[in-house]
Amino acid sequence: MIENLNILITEVYNVLLLLIPILTAVAMIVWLDRRVWAFVQKRRGPNVVGPFGLFQSLADALKYIFKEIIIPASANKVIFILAPIVTMTLALISWAVIPFSEDFVLADINVGILYLFAVSSLGVYGIIMGGWASNSKYPFLGAIRSAAQMVSYEVSIGVIIINVLLCVGSLNLTDIVIAQENLWFIVPLFPMFVIFFISALAETNRPPFDLPEAEAELVAGYQTEYSGMMYAMFWLGEYANILLMCSMGSILFLGGWLSPIDIYPFTLVPAPLWLIIKILLLFILFSLVKAIVPRYRYDQLMKLGWKIFLPFSLIWVVLTASYLFYFNLLPTN
Tens of pLDDT, residues 196-252: 999 998 888 887 888 777 666 666 677 888 888 888 888 888 888 889 999 999 999
pLDDT mean across residues, the chain: 85
* Amino acid, res. 252: L
Please say whether the beta carbons of 202 and 209 come within 8 A.
yes
Proportion of the chain above pLDDT 90, given as a percent:
16
pLDDT of residue 253: 93
Q: Per-residue b/e over 292-317, b at no fewer than 16 CB within 10 Å?
A: eeebbebeebbebbeeebbebbeebb
Distance CA 277, CA 280 (A): 5
Rg from Cα positions in the chain: 21
Distance CA 333, CA 221 (A): 47
User: In what helix (H) or strand (E) does residue 150 lie, and over which residues does it extend?
Assistant: helix 137-168
257 contact partners, CB below 8 Å, separation of at least 6: 99, 100, 101, 102, 177, 271, 272, 274, 275
Is 0.75 surpassed by the pTM of this model? yes
Residue 266 has pLDDT above 80, yes or no: no
Residue 195 has pLDDT above 90, yes or no: yes
Distance CA 222, CA 129 (A): 9
Please say whether the beta carbons of 35 and 41 come within 8 A.
no
316 contact partners, CB below 8 Å, separation of at least 6: 163, 189, 191, 192
CA separation, residue 156 to residues 168, 199, 212, 241 (Å): 19, 7, 19, 17
213 contact partners, CB below 8 Å, separation of at least 6: 142, 205, 220, 221, 222, 223
pLDDT tens-digit readout, 274-326 = 999 999 999 999 889 888 888 888 888 888 888 999 999 999 999 999 998 88
Cα 305 to the chain's mean position, in Å? 18
Residue 130 has pLDDT above 80, yes or no: yes
Distance CA 218, CA 203 (A): 19
